[in-house]
């Protein structure tokens, strides 16, 4: 129902959310029904009362133009037979101290502990790029991810695709990605950086790779002060994702022909 797409305030009602009673008041043809009848109608139309999600509308005035450029790059890659590649690039950090996430625990007791250990909360950066058609992952890890590290990563990415004449790399608007020094370093290479919309991580499929990495390794990890063990576990997970691109492609929905939502969640 179109009415449910906006808040009741737009219809002059001083409420933030719709109720069955408010729908009966606002939608004239629902007025003769009982609240139970309205509920049954909504259920029939697959409209349910559910928890909302955090949402920020991208403020980027070039949102559509940027996504159109990425779609053109994807079409070029699909038609090129390997001479054109489109990859989505991003960085992620993980820490010696585990992040807290949901896990099973007895009812009524405290939540499952995420042991923080006693040493400094060391950070490690991961740079990754996932092929938009195959799901193949290229990754690098180190203490930082600055211009020098990204230049080396681009060289690693080119080595993964020696036959590529053009490599489009879609990425967010982190300033380092488009510093003059970095752009100059790749100017005479097949690399063609593309900007994704501002504040719209949902347009970058590699975010789902990072989400799965957190779910399976870094949330609630039990390495505590065993930094070497944690880095080895993360590297092994990334190597496995690289070795098995088809599950990655399936998990993150690459190849689906739908327009990404203009959201940040």
Q: How many CB atoms lie within 10 A of CB 63?
A: 19
Q: Which residues pair with 210 in a beta bridge?
A: none
| Same-domain check for residues 25 and 148 | no
Range of the domain at 232: 63-101+113-252
| Same-domain check for residues 122 and 37 | no
Does this model's pTM top 0.75?
Answer: yes
| Same-domain check for residues 153 and 224 | yes
Q: Which of 177, 196, 192, 203 is nearest to 60 (CA)?
A: 196
188-199 exposure pattern, b = at least 16 Cβ within 10 A, e = fewer? eebbbbbbbbeb
How far apart CA 158 and CA 122 sit, in angstroms, is 30
Evaluate whether residue 260 is within a structural domain. no
| Same-domain check for residues 68 and 199 | yes
| Same-domain check for residues 28 and 154 | no
* In contact, 74 and 86? CB cutoff 8 Å: yes
Strand ordering across the sheet containing 123-131: 137-142, 123-131, 84-95, 166-171, 191-195
Evaluate whether residue 261 is within a structural domain. no
> What total of structural domains would you count in the chain?
2
Here the CATH number for the domain that contains residue 94 is: 3.30.420.10
| Same-domain check for residues 89 and 197 | yes
| Same-domain check for residues 85 and 215 | yes
Evaluate whether residue 123 is within a structural domain. yes
Evaluate whether residue 155 is within a structural domain. yes
| Same-domain check for residues 127 and 221 | yes
| Same-domain check for residues 89 and 217 | yes
pLDDT one digit per residue (tens) for the chain, 265 residues: 678 878 888 888 888 888 999 888 898 888 899 999 989 988 998 888 888 877 677 788 999 999 999 999 999 999 999 999 999 999 999 999 999 998 888 888 888 889 999 999 999 999 999 999 999 999 999 999 999 999 999 999 999 999 999 999 999 999 999 999 999 999 999 999 999 999 999 999 999 999 999 999 999 999 989 999 999 999 999 999 999 999 999 988 875 444 454 544 4
| Same-domain check for residues 39 and 68 | no
* In contact, 11 and 3? CB cutoff 8 Å: yes
| Same-domain check for residues 75 and 160 | yes
The separation between the first and the last C-alpha atoms of the chain, rounded to the nearest angstrom, is: 23
Q: Which of 99, 132, 104 is nearest to 114 (CA)?
A: 99
| Same-domain check for residues 30 and 97 | no
Evaluate whether residue 151 is within a structural domain. yes
């Amino acid at each position: 129902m179109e009415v449910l797409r906006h808040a009741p305030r737009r219809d002059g009602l001083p409420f933030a959310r719709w109720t069955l009673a408010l729908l009966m008041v606002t939608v004239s043809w629902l007025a003769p029904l009982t609240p139970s009848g309205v509920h049954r109608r909504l259920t029939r139309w697959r409209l349910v009362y559910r928890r909302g999600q955090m949402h920020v509308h991208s403020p980027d005035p070039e949102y559509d133009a940027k996504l159109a450029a990425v779609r053109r790059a994807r079409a070029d890659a699909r038609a090129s037979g390997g001479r054109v590649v489109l990859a989505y690039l991003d960085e992620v950090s993980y820490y010696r101290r585990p992040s807290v996430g949901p896990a099973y625990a007895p009812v009524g007791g405290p939540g499952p502990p995420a042991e923080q250990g006693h040493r400094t909360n060391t950070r490690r950066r991961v740079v990754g790029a996932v092929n938009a058609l195959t799901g193949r992952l290229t990754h690098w890890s180190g203490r930082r991810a600055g211009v020098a590290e990204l230049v080396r990563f681009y060289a690693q990415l080119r080595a993964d695709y020696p036959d590529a004449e053009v490599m489009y790399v879609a990425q967010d608007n982190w300033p380092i990605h488009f510093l003059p020094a970095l752009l100059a370093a790749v100017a005479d290479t097949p690399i063609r950086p593309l900007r994704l919309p501002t504040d719209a991580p949902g347009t970058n499929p590699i975010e789902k790779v990072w989400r799965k990495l957190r779910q399976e390794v870094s949330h609630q990890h039990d390495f505590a002060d065993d930094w070497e063990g944690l880095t080895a576990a993360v590297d092994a997970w990334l190597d496995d994702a690289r070795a098995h691109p088809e599950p990655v492609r399936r998990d993150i929905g690459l190849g689906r022909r739908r327009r990404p939502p203009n959201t940040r969640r």
